[in-house]
C-alpha cells in the first residue's frame, strides 16, 4: 500500500451537523450484509476514447460532440481517458481497491460499426471486450454489462432515426444483443439492456441537451417524440429479455434487467395536498413510466394515460403479452440515484409538450429550506433520507431486489490533483448514502444487494464536457495519469468494515 493510500480509512470521514440547513450529516457506518457487492461504474463513450481506432464506427455522440457551434462545452471524447488503450492498467487499479463488480457498457458501434442487423461485425472490437472481461474474471471482479448507454450507431440514426422507429430499432437491437450474449455470455452473468431511458427520452428527444439533440427549436415533434422513444425502449428491452430467456439463460445461467434513474420528490409545501400529490405523481411520471410496464407487466400508469392522452402510445395485445411474460424475468431493479428535490404543482397552463404533469421541481421549499447541502453541481444535493425513501418507494411498488447501479457526486476544484485526492466531501456523501441503504435493509426490510459508485474515474461528462468530476480516481486529461482519491480508499475500507460488522451482527 502506498503512503497516500494509508492516509485514508472509513474512520477518517468528516462527520458533522450542517447548522445552516438543519441536516444531520453524521456518518454512522451502519453495517451491510456480508454478501453485499460493491463496485464501480462507467460508460463506453465517456472513458474509452479510440473514437475511430481498430474499425470502430461513429455513434450519435461522436457526431453530437463535434457539432459547430459546440453543444458540449467545446469538448469531445475522442481520447477521453483512453481506456481503450489503457484498459489493463484500469483493471489492475480496480483490483488494488478490492472492487467486487465493474459495471461498464459496450459501444455498439465498436462491435457493429454500422449498427444494423445485416452489417459486418468488427472482430477487433469483439476482441477488446473479450480481453476486458477475461481480465476482470481473472481478478475476481464480476463484469456487469450494459448494452445501451446512450450511444446509438450514427448509421442507424441516419437510416431511420434510431429509437424513433420502434420496429427497425427493436430488430437491430435484438441482433446486437444476441451477438453480445453469444460472444460474452459464458462469462457475463449480469446484463443491463438500457441505461436511464428517461434521460434518453426527455433530454435527448425533448430538451435536446443530449445526442441526438432533438428539441422544439430544431423543429422536431416534442409533443410525441419522447413518448415514442420511451415506447421503443420498453418494447426493445422486453424483446431482448424474452430472447435471452429462451435462447441463453439456461446454458449461461445469467440474469438480465434494465437500469432506471430517478430523484426522490418531497412536497414543496408539505401543508398543501396539491404539492403532496404532485410529489407522488412526479415519481410516477419519472419512474413508473418505465418501471410499471417492465416490472409489473402492465400498461403505462393511469395518471400518465389521463394527462397525456393520445401523446402516449398504445401497446398492442401481443405487446401486452410480451410485457406480462417478461416482467418476472427481470432479475433486479437497477437504480441510478443522485439527489432529492421538492415538487410543486403549478396552476398556470402547461406548455403543449409538458412532460411533468405541470409540476415544478426545485432544491428549496416554500419555507426557504434547502433539500440538502450543495455538491459541485447546483442540482445535486446531499439528501440521504430521500434516498432511503426512494428505496422504500421502489421496493413497495415493484417488490424486486434492488442494486444501486450508480450513485456519487462531484465537487469544485478537482482539476487540481491535491484537492481532488483530499475529497472528504465525497467520502461523506458516500458514507451517508451507504448508511441510508443499511437502514433501508435492516429497519425497513428493503432488499438491496449491491452498490456501484459513479464513477471509477473522472471522465467526459456528456454535454458538460470535462467539467464535473465524479470519479473516485482522478484523471489528468493531459497526461492521462490516474491517481486514486481518498474516496477510493474510503470505499474499499468502509465496505470491509461494514460487512464485517454485519457478519458479527448476524452471528449475534
What does pTM read for this prediction? 0.95
pLDDT at 13: 45
Q: Which of 196, 370, 414, 461 is catalytic?
A: 196
Q: Are 402 and 450 in contact (CB under 8 A)?
A: no
Residue 508: its pLDDT value, please?
Answer: 37
Residue 172: the pLDDT is 99
Give the separation between CA 200 and CA 504, rounded to whole angstroms.
43
The reply to whether 461 belongs to the active site is no
Strand partners, 191: 145, 256
Helices (H) and strands (E) in the chain, counts: 19, 15
Q: Could you list the pLDDT tens digit for every one of the 508 residues in the chain? A: 333 333 334 444 443 435 445 667 899 999 999 999 999 999 999 999 999 999 999 999 999 999 999 999 999 999 999 999 999 999 999 999 999 999 999 999 999 999 999 999 999 999 999 999 999 999 999 999 999 999 999 999 999 999 999 999 999 999 999 999 999 999 999 999 999 999 999 999 999 999 999 999 989 999 999 999 999 999 999 999 999 999 999 999 999 999 999 999 999 999 999 999 999 999 999 999 999 999 999 999 999 999 999 999 999 999 999 999 999 999 999 999 999 999 999 999 999 999 999 999 999 999 999 999 999 999 999 999 999 999 999 999 999 999 999 999 999 899 999 999 999 999 999 999 999 999 999 999 999 999 999 999 999 999 999 999 999 999 999 999 999 999 999 999 999 999 987 766 554 3
Give the pLDDT score at 502: 77
Q: Whose CA is closest to 45, among 459, 475, 478?
A: 459
Contact (Cβ atoms closer than 8 angstroms) between residue 455 and residue 409: no
Count, residues in the chain: 508
Tally of domains in the chain = 1
Rounded Cα gap, residues 426 and 485, in angstroms: 10
Phi, psi angles (nearest 5°) of residue 140: 60, 35
**314 has catalytic annotation:** no
Contact 370, 381 (CB under 8 A): yes
Cell numbers that stand for 325 in this block = 411474460
Q: What is the CATH number of the domain that holds 484?
A: 3.20.20.80
Phi then psi for 153, rounded to 5 degrees? -55, 135
Could you list the residue range(s) of the whole structural domain that residue 405 is in?
Answer: 3-30+37-507
Between the CA of residue 415 and those of 4, 70, 297, 407, 459, what are the distances in Å? 18, 22, 46, 21, 12
Query: Which DSSP string do the residues of 210-268 spell out, in sequence order?
Result: STT---GGGT--TTTHHHHHHHHHHHHHHHHHHHHHHHTHHHH--EEEEEEE--EEEES
Catalytic residue among 319, 406, 414, 461: 406
Show Cβ contacts of residue 495 under 8 Å, excluding neighbours closer than 6 positions. 32, 36, 38, 98
Q: Residue 12: what pLDDT?
A: 43
Amino acid at each position: 500500500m502506498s503512503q497516500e493510500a494509508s492516509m485514508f480509512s472509513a474512520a477518517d470521514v468528516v462527520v458533522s451537523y450542517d447548522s445552516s440547513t438543519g441536516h444531520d450529516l453524521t456518518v454512522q457506518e451502519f453495517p451491510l450484509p456480508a454478501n453485499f457487492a460493491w463496485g464501480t461504474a462507467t460508460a463506453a463513450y465517456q472513458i474509452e476514447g479510440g473514437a475511430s481506432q481498430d474499425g470502430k464506427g461513429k455513434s450519435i455522440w461522436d457526431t453530437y460532440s463535434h457539432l459547430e457551434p459546440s453543444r458540449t462545452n467545446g469538448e469531445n471524447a475522442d481520447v477521453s481517458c483512453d481506456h481503450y488503450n489503457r484498459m489493463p492498467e484500469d483493471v489492475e487499479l480496480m483490483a488494488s481497491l478490492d472492487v467486487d463488480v465493474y459495471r461498464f457498457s459496450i459501444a455498439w458501434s465498436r462491435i457493429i460499426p454500422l449498427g444494423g442487423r445485416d452489417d459486418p461485425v468488427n472482430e477487433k472490437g469483439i476482441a477488446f471486450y473479450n480481453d476486458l472481461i477475461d481480465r476482470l474474471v481473472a481478478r475476481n471482479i464480476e463484469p456487469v454489462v450494459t448494452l445501451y448507454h446512450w450511444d446509438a450507431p450514427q448509421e442507424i440514426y441516419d437510416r431511420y432515426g434510431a429509437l424513433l422507429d420502434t420496429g427497425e430499432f427493436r430488430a437491430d437491437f435484438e441482433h446486437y444483443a444476441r451477438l453480445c450474449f453469444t460472444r460474452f455470455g459464458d462469462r457475463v452473468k449480469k446484463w443491463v439492456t438500457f441505461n436511464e431511458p428517461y434521460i434518453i427520452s426527455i433530454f435527448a428527444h425533448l430538451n435536446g441537451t443530449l445526442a441526438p439533440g432533438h428539441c422544439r427549436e430544431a423543429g422536431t415533434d416534442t409533443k410525441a417524440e419522447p413518448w415514442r422513444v420511451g415506447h421503443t425502449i420498453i418494447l426493445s428491452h422486453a424483446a431482448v429479455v424474452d430472447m435471452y430467456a429462451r435462447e441463453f439463460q439456461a446454458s449461461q445461467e445469467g440474469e438480465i434487467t434494465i437500469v432506471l434513474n430517478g430523484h426522490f420528490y418531497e412536497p414543496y409545501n408539505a401543508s398543501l395536498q396539491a404539492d403532496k400529490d404532485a410529489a407522488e405523481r412526479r415519481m410516477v411520471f419519472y419512474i413508473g413510466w418505465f418501471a410499471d410496464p417492465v416490472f409489473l407487466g402492465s400498461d403505462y400508469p393511469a395518471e400518465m394515460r389521463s394527462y397525456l392522452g393520445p401523446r402516449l402510445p398504445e401497446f398492442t395485445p401481443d405487446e401486452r403479452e410480451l410485457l406480462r411474460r417478461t416482467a418476472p424475468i427481470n432479475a433486479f431493479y437497477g437504480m441510478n440515484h443522485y439527489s432529492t428535490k421538492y415538487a410543486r404543482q403549478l396552476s398556470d397552463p402547461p406548455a403543449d409538450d409538458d412532460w411533468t404533469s405541470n409540476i415544478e421541481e426545485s432544491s428549496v421549499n416554500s419555507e426557504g429550506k434547502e433539500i440538502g447541502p450543495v455538491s459541485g453541481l447546483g442540482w445535486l444535493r446531499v439528501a440521504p433520507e430521500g434516498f432511503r425513501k426512494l428505496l422504500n418507494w421502489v421496493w413497495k411498488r415493484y417488490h424486486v431486489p434492488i442494486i444501486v447501479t450508480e450513485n456519487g457526486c462531484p465537487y469544485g476544484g478537482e482539476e487540481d490533483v491535491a484537492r481532488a485526492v483530499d475529497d472528504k466531501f465525497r467520502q461523506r456523501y458516500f458514507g451517508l448514502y451507504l448508511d441510508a441503504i443499511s437502514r433501508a435493509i435492516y429497519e425497513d426490510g428493503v432488499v438491496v444487494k449491491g452498490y456501484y459508485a459513479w464513477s471509477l474515474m473522472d471522465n467526459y461528462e456528456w454535454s458538460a464536457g470535462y467539467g464535473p468530476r465524479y470519479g473516485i480516481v482522478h484523471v489528468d486529461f493531459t497526461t492521462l495519469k490516474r491517481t486514486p482519491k481518498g474516496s477510493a480508499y474510503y470505499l474499499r475500507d468502509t465496505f470491509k468494515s461494514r460487512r464485517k460488522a454485519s457478519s458479527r451482527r448476524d452471528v449475534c
